[in-house]
Amino acid sequence: MFLLPRHEQILQLAKEHGRVTVETLAELFGVTPQTIRKDLNDLCDQRLLTRIHGGALLPSGIENMEYEARRELAADEKRAIGRAAAELIPDKASLFINIGTTTEAVSDALLDHQGLMVITNNINVANRMRVYPSLEVIIAGGVVRGSDGGVVGEAAVDFFRQFKVDYAVIGVSAIDEDGALFDYDFREVKVAQAIIANARHVVLVSDSSKFDRAAPVRIGHISQVDTFITDRCPDLRFRAVCEEANVRLVEACATAETV
């Protein structure tokens, strides 16, 4: 496989840092962002990198990154998404929150709410919210994933089936332009499906980098969601799918620019 010298250097940087960004590479090589985007697309076409919003990762690298590093990816966008989601949820509501750094951003934005019952399989969410006396936190039992503190497995699935809540706040690992939703771990997919089935209003929260990723296990379809909150939605086909399925699309980037 023939690679340009610049392509080889980009790959080496991705191996060293886990990801590369268009802005940094354009400055490093003294070329335009458009040139770097073409470089990244060429490398992705050869399956050497995986595109994300504003840059690229090594293939399947996102699920192998340390959890703290994942939390820092698109951190400002996730905070804006969290605030937008929190505005939808009234005091004294019951809700599910599943695994993910974006759903954690929602939990941060909910800390000022009163009288919430929060049911989660995310140890990080439970630990953060448990100290607030106005919030009741219930955590699922099951196998704890060491990589991110997520509780998965059949016990967690059975746990969520006991409830019928007002809202579910869910995250995903990848979104296809046809509306399909995906994750990396089949155990977490089963939990997410139980969460969706037992909530009156499902809120999907995801930054726009998920449009540039691929994951192997199908969770479901955007039509099973009531509200989708993202920083921005550049994909016109996906916007049309949301409209056809009567899914409310909220783009939180405007919020991010005004705070």
Cβ neighbours around 203 below 10 Å, total? 25
CATH 3.40.50.720 fits domain 70-258 = no
Distance CA 193, CA 195 (A): 5
> Could you tell me which residues are beta bridge partners of residue 137?
118
Report the pLDDT value the prediction gives residue 71, as an integer from 0 to 100: 65
Query: Alpha carbon of 182 to those of 25, 48, 179, 244: distances in Å?
Result: 29, 21, 10, 20
All residues at 6 or more sequence positions from 237 whose CB lies less than 8 Å from its CB, including other chains: 177, 178
Are 219 and 193 in contact by the 8 Å Cβ rule? The answer is yes
Report the pLDDT value the prediction gives residue 64, as an integer from 0 to 100: 44
Q: Are both 5-59 and 70-258 of the same fold?
A: no
Q: Which of 43, 88, 79, 19 is nearest to 257 (CA)?
A: 79
Given a cut of 50, the residues of the chain with pLDDT beneath it are 61-64, 255-259
Report the pLDDT value the prediction gives residue 61, as an integer from 0 to 100: 47
Name the one residue in this structure whose structure tokens are 């630990």: 127
| pTM reported for the whole predicted model | 0.74
Question: Residue ranges per domain, the chain?
Answer: 5-59, 70-258
Are 51 and 190 in contact by the 8 Å Cβ rule? The answer is no
The fold of 5-59 is Arc Repressor Mutant, subunit A (1.10.10)
Are 117 and 136 in contact by the 8 Å Cβ rule? The answer is yes
Helix axes 75-88, 101-109, angle to 10 degrees: 50
In Å, the largest CA–CA distance within the chain is: 61
Report the pLDDT value the prediction gives residue 258, as an integer from 0 to 100: 36
Q: Which of 147, 142, 89 is nearest to 118 (CA)?
A: 89
Are 113 and 137 in contact by the 8 Å Cβ rule? The answer is no
DSSP state string for 16-50: HHSEEEHHHHHHHHT--HHHHHHHHHHHHHTTSSE
